[in-house]
Structure 1
Amino acid sequence: MKSLLTLALLTVSNLFMTFAWYGHLQFKKLPWFSKLGIVGIVLVSWGLAFFEYVFQVPANRIGFEENGGPFSLFQLKVIQEVISLTVFTLCAVYVFKTDKLGWNHVLGFGLLVAAVYVIFRKW
């Protein structure tokens, strides 16, 4: 159960992170946001990043093995990176509609899955 909760919280966290880091690049499509200067954009992004941390910190605390969770620190980081790239890709392709998923992206994700395997394997 802790592993599923950790994964869910990391996914929600990464949704906020993606919009905080890259969503502002789409603001020009929204009339009110298109008039914001860089300070306004930074403040909006910080506001979104706050919610990233609201979900990220509990995810790591719940998931960390020294707090009774199932994951080591390295495992948490690799999981976070895979979720981050997955969420980013889905947002870029289906929400922002700025990029198309190419064979090189699929190959890269395959290598990330291999990284997860290597990190989780008990040698």
Structure 2
Amino acid sequence: MYLPFILLIVANCFMTLAWYGHLKFLPHDAPLWKAILLSWIIALAEYSFMIPATRYLAQQSWSMGEMKITQEVVTLLVFVPFMIFLFKQPFKLDYVWAGLCLLGCVYFVFRSQ
């Protein structure tokens, strides 16, 4: 049962890197096509983990809403450490409040079970 969550975490690591990695690893004057190509190569790895995760959860009778809200929680759990440690952005208490709002989303999506 843990496998889809591990796959989601790995997928989100790749996707965060695909979306924001070019800001750190490419010169700011690099051509846009290089940033897009680099991001698409990384995103291919993301899809290789995300698709099996969602297929597994669907086979376990998870609804689309349950899968999406779970993915958003994982995204926040992955993004905040990336932002702080890789991109050296300051931590804000607002991220805690955002996380609590997502927990509210989790509650409302899963409460009917």
- Report if TM-score (shorter chain) is over 0.5: yes
Corresponding letter in the other structure for 2:65: F
Larger Rg: 1
Unaligned runs of 5+ in 1: 28-32
What is the CA–CA distance in structure 2 between the aligned matches of 1:105 and 1:36, rounded to whole Å? Answer: 31
Look up the match of 2:7.
Answer: 9
Corresponding letter in the other structure for 1:94: F
Q: How does 1:35-114 map to 2 (within 5 A)?
A: 36-64=30-58, 67=59, 69-97=60-88, 99-114=89-104
What is the CA–CA distance in structure 2 between the aligned matches of 1:6 and 1:71, rounded to whole Å? Answer: 12
Q: Secondary structure of the residue that 1:22 maps to in structure 2?
A: helix
Calculate the aligned-residue CA RMSD, in Å.
1.4
What is the CA–CA distance in structure 2 between the aligned matches of 1:37 and 1:14, rounded to whole Å? Answer: 25
> Displacement of 1:71 after TM fit?
2.0
TM-score (structure 2 length as normaliser): 0.92
Look up the match of 2:109.
Answer: 119
Unaligned runs of 5+ in 2: none
Same amino acid, percent of matched pairs: 38
